[in-house]
Structure 1
């Protein structure tokens, strides 16, 4: 009878409890044994400071070894349950999709690896349905303890659980879009999609993505640009005024040229815009028709044939090329000074040429200073010695020594200016360091000081191209004050009794005088549109520059602005929607050929009525400009929004405000802010020259749009000054499209007393 109900032998085993947050995975073969091999667990309280599990293990026979029940620690059991199918047969069932999988404890073939792949790789249908129902990518969320991560790789032997990342539905179209955007934004070669390393990298991220071909990515780049182009086109179509174009010619290794055409205008909300419109490949860039052909193609592409106001070019052109462009301006816009608003000199390029020629004339002195700076900066010990001498001499120099970049002329100016402040330290270094030879002499430093004094105004003028208010290019009127001061100072210095000063500034004055003559008129009428100055600043500045002959020059500006105003007065009055519908043959219109309509009514007589209105109100409209000029000047404030002022006064000056809007939008520079100080001619890289012209245009235009948006955000954060961004090769090393502004009238330099009789030909 004793054998019928044997008492079990109790084996009390104390096992420390595991912390739920520090649980680690073990091998699959160590997971939970069968339920038949364990008995019911009972948790006992223990008086010590630790908590323990008390496991009661039966000792039935020698054939059945004692076993312990372990908690399943693999992360897959948060998504699977175990179901017993039959005797000795169990399967793992997914909690999401209810699909079952083979599972056997301690079996490496049917363990948990395939269960992890089911969840981690997104093959679970229920997970995919949940993600696709969101219709968008799931944003990243902070890691949580309730969302463990999975990996398709075999789990490590001991691995802490990591927080999970939400599942993201695979979208092949989104992947293609992101690759296209990446290539354009970072100026990568389009053939990167065929590079084995890049293909392998993307496959490791998402094996389900099939890498696109070169032809496909080329088409995607063009399609992406055309989509962005539509948004720009809508802005241009709603533009109430005219557009001003800038032309920047880039060379290439295969002798073809690429003309960058940008448009600048003020929209209906009186906001300034500058957009890169086209990049046109010209096989013969030196021909007399290259620029006119590109402008005509741009006007046709954007539908702005009748809205062209001015053209600014980055280089001097032949007389034939200028005549072709002027004729194009006259044909496309005959009412605007017969095509005279043509500027043949870009401000940034002109300043660069002047400074480069000036530095070349004193190359020996500049080299001495550069070598001295390099001697100090290329050795840590010498630089430490130099700083010690500076402290001993108590030199109050605030600028640090810098080695210039000879492709950017502002860095040479900064180098000379910093070295000039520390000239005493350099002199002391020459006496204490026997290895330091050929130090600049006192006379050399004097000449460096003179050079910096005359380059400084050019630096300040160029910096205006970098200063952007409210993410908009500066208006044309901002450059008149700087330009006339430079013209006056150089003219006076050129006749100095100091031979070095006169020799240095004579060449500068000759070069700047060419630029001044080409832009003087347009800068003058632009400053007239500034209610703080009007004609008074023109009269004052011209009296300083031209002396007794200033009256003739002032008269040219006064006559020109009145002539331009009359052309705006003569513009056809816009039709109301009702009249426009009738003129287009809408409901209620009677066609001349209709027998029942009688004699043709000449558009219901409205054309003659418009002529009558213009004739009877022309004298009144003329007084609008005179009234503006006769009113007192506004007080001068540092940050004055001249465009905003005209917006507020457009009802008081309906016609004059339209003219002011177009004049103030004329740019003076063809280059973006990041290239203002460049001294080298821009060249298209060889790779892009191998692409189709439409692909080159799409990649570059979209690239500059992206970079302009980034630059606008940077300006808002940095106070409105554009720095030189990190360059990327390929499309011009430029990451900023904004930051260029205002321009001028191209003239032939004829004396006002010899002014031609042709309408609109105004010259200085």
Structure 2
């Protein structure tokens, strides 16, 4: 044997069965595979003492493991002092059945970021806001966390807005500040819509490139012909073509980048196989847009990260988008000016707090998006930015100094509201007790007792004096401290 055990090996059938179940779950092995006649033969060649169970038993083992893991998470939720943020999306099966996936995001006592998928269930048709709200409430009730929710991040669909409104209407007493900032519109989803709208101006070029790549990809012979041309032109061969997913703009961007690298190869291949391909002008438009969208690819990766918190990066992302759309240095051609104009129109609808052509009443009626205060506060709580960044941000997006002051003051007031809310929760939810200062061996009248009593009285007096003289909060201290240095590997939770 190449790999010999470090010590005498003792076969444990229970452990083997448990590990087999974990492998089955992780590798997504169909339960039916465990009734394959060659599986037991293979296992016998390694360990004859281990008997493979049937598919029903393996399924029961998997469900038992699931229930044990679920119980562990329920206990973790029960002991959790922080609030939980939810993200959710709908998924449609091949049978056109709608399913909802809900993920819980939270920070544990050690300030470690956690995420757990807590729901993947069918939602009754039609998928109205009421049906979505019913599914969310059912999930939260099942896990016992209805009173621990802070925000829900959903895509920008009207039924999701209705679902959040219904949730706040019936459960506002269980939410912080009665759910004022419950609904967060998914930044990644809005960014996707933003760029998708812009890319419509070159949809003909994209369709031609996509169809040409599909023609190559669907036949090994045609792929070989493509690689023959590529090698002759000094380019690397391809194992397969990068074809986009229609509803993910960055996959389209990657497809265009690949196509531009192999442009001469694609032109030659299309001519030989009598396929339609982009003309010179269409290639030029695609190249200009690809260079422009590189910045948006980086922003998409920033807001799509799912193993670390991202809410404190929301305002910087908005500023980056605005800068890219308004900076004349980016708009070097008519196609880029057109692209920026289309995307700016969509941006004004979603994030611009000072859209000139839309008054507040119209905004409310059309349910257009304003900045969620929770996201503003998250940026404020980034020790590299604090209140200074709010001043900087609103000075970029507002039309007057008064508007800047109003927005910053409103954000600080909202922070104070949350602090008071948490203080009240801490006061009502925690019982404090003062331990007795007297020991059993010390008699009444002892000088030691008198000394300790005086020390306690002085400590209380000193505490009262400090409280009355200096009314300082943790928020004041946070604001007065110097901002942290902004480094690429800065970890806000570790701070």
- State TM-score, norm by structure 2: 0.73
In 2, Cα distance between equivalents of 1:292 and 1:345 = 16
Unaligned runs of 5+ in 2: 352-368, 436-462
Write the deviation string for residues 169-199 of structure 1: whole angstroms up to 9, x where unpaired: 473x445434432321221233334455556
Q: 1:304: how far off?
A: 2.8
Residues 243 and 255 in structure 2, CA contact (< 8 A), matched pair in contact too: no
In 1, Cα distance between equivalents of 2:82 and 2:312 = 18
Match of 1:625 in 2: 475
Write the deviation string for residues 229-251 of structure 1: whole angstroms up to 9, x where unpaired: 33334433443321112222223
Match of 1:276 in 2: 117
* Secondary structure, counterpart of 2:493 in structure 1: helix
Distance 1:637 1:223, change over 3 A: same
Matches within 5 A, 1:244-259: 244-254=85-95, 256-259=97-100
Q: Which moved more, 1:523-532 or 1:449-458?
A: 449-458
In 1, Cα distance between equivalents of 2:49 and 2:108 = 46
Q: 1:370: how far off?
A: 4.3
In 1, Cα distance between equivalents of 2:395 and 2:318 = 15
Match of 2:173 in 1: 331
Write the deviation string for residues 83-136 of structure 1: whole angstroms up to 9, x where unpaired: xxxxxxxxxxxxxxxxxxxxxxxxxxxxxxxxxxxxxxxxxxxxxxxxxxxxxx
Unaligned runs of 5+ in 1: 1-138, 145-164, 392-397, 581-612, 646-764
Match of 1:638 in 2: 488
The answer on 1:316 being equivalent to 2:153 is: no
Q: 1:315: how far off?
A: 5.0
Residues 399 and 421 in structure 1, CA contact (< 8 A), matched pair in contact too: no
* Greater helix proportion: 2
- The total of aligned residue pairs comes to 438
Distance 1:366 1:431, change over 3 A: closer
Matches within 5 A, 1:40-55: none
In 2, Cα distance between equivalents of 1:289 and 1:435 = 53
Matches within 5 A, 1:14-93: none
Match of 2:442 in 1: none
Residues 361 and 504 in structure 1, CA contact (< 8 A), matched pair in contact too: yes
Distance 1:302 1:557, change over 3 A: same
Residues 216 and 241 in structure 2, CA contact (< 8 A), matched pair in contact too: no
In 2, Cα distance between equivalents of 1:385 and 1:619 = 82
Residues 99 and 120 in structure 2, CA contact (< 8 A), matched pair in contact too: yes
Residues 400 and 418 in structure 1, CA contact (< 8 A), matched pair in contact too: no
Q: 1:366: how far off?
A: 1.6
Distance 1:553 1:385, change over 3 A: same
Write the deviation string for residues 349-375 of structure 1: whole angstroms up to 9, x where unpaired: 333344444444422112344466678
In 2, Cα distance between equivalents of 1:209 and 1:444 = 64
Residues 244 and 255 in structure 2, CA contact (< 8 A), matched pair in contact too: no
Q: 1:544: how far off?
A: 2.1
Aligned partner (choices 318, 339, 345) of residue 483 of structure 1: 318
Residues 343 and 519 in structure 1, CA contact (< 8 A), matched pair in contact too: no
In 1, Cα distance between equivalents of 2:77 and 2:431 = 21
Aligned partner (choices 357, 364, 376) of residue 524 of structure 1: 376
- State TM-score, norm by structure 1: 0.49
The answer on 1:575 being equivalent to 2:415 is: no
Distance 1:247 1:331, change over 3 A: farther
* Secondary structure, counterpart of 1:457 in structure 2: helix
Match of 1:533 in 2: 385
Distance 1:422 1:208, change over 3 A: closer
Which has the bigger relative contact order, CA under 8 A and spacing at least 6? 1
The answer on 1:142 being equivalent to 2:7 is: no
In 2, Cα distance between equivalents of 1:421 and 1:528 = 42
Residues 420 and 449 in structure 1, CA contact (< 8 A), matched pair in contact too: yes
The answer on 1:448 being equivalent to 2:286 is: yes
Q: 1:627: how far off?
A: 3.9
Q: 1:529: how far off?
A: 0.8
Q: 1:492: how far off?
A: 6.5
The answer on 1:264 being equivalent to 2:105 is: yes
Match of 1:350 in 2: 190
Match of 1:183 in 2: 24
In 2, Cα distance between equivalents of 1:143 and 1:174 = 17
Match of 2:138 in 1: 297
Write the deviation string for residues 41-78 of structure 1: whole angstroms up to 9, x where unpaired: xxxxxxxxxxxxxxxxxxxxxxxxxxxxxxxxxxxxxx
* Secondary structure, counterpart of 1:366 in structure 2: helix
In 2, Cα distance between equivalents of 1:216 and 1:361 = 56
Match of 2:454 in 1: none
In 2, Cα distance between equivalents of 1:475 and 1:434 = 49
- Higher-Rg structure is 1
The answer on 1:364 being equivalent to 2:208 is: no
Pairwise CA RMSD: 4.3
Distance 1:618 1:186, change over 3 A: farther
Q: 1:286: how far off?
A: 0.8
Distance 1:466 1:644, change over 3 A: same
Match of 2:70 in 1: 229
In 2, Cα distance between equivalents of 1:534 and 1:167 = 58
Q: 1:619: how far off?
A: 11
Q: 1:561: how far off?
A: 2.5
Residues 202 and 282 in structure 2, CA contact (< 8 A), matched pair in contact too: no
Match of 2:256 in 1: 416
The answer on 1:566 being equivalent to 2:420 is: yes
Distance 1:355 1:269, change over 3 A: same
Distance 1:285 1:315, change over 3 A: farther
* Secondary structure, counterpart of 2:487 in structure 1: coil
* Secondary structure, counterpart of 1:283 in structure 2: coil
In 1, Cα distance between equivalents of 2:340 and 2:430 = 56
Distance 1:221 1:452, change over 3 A: same
In 2, Cα distance between equivalents of 1:207 and 1:359 = 61
Q: 1:460: how far off?
A: 0.6
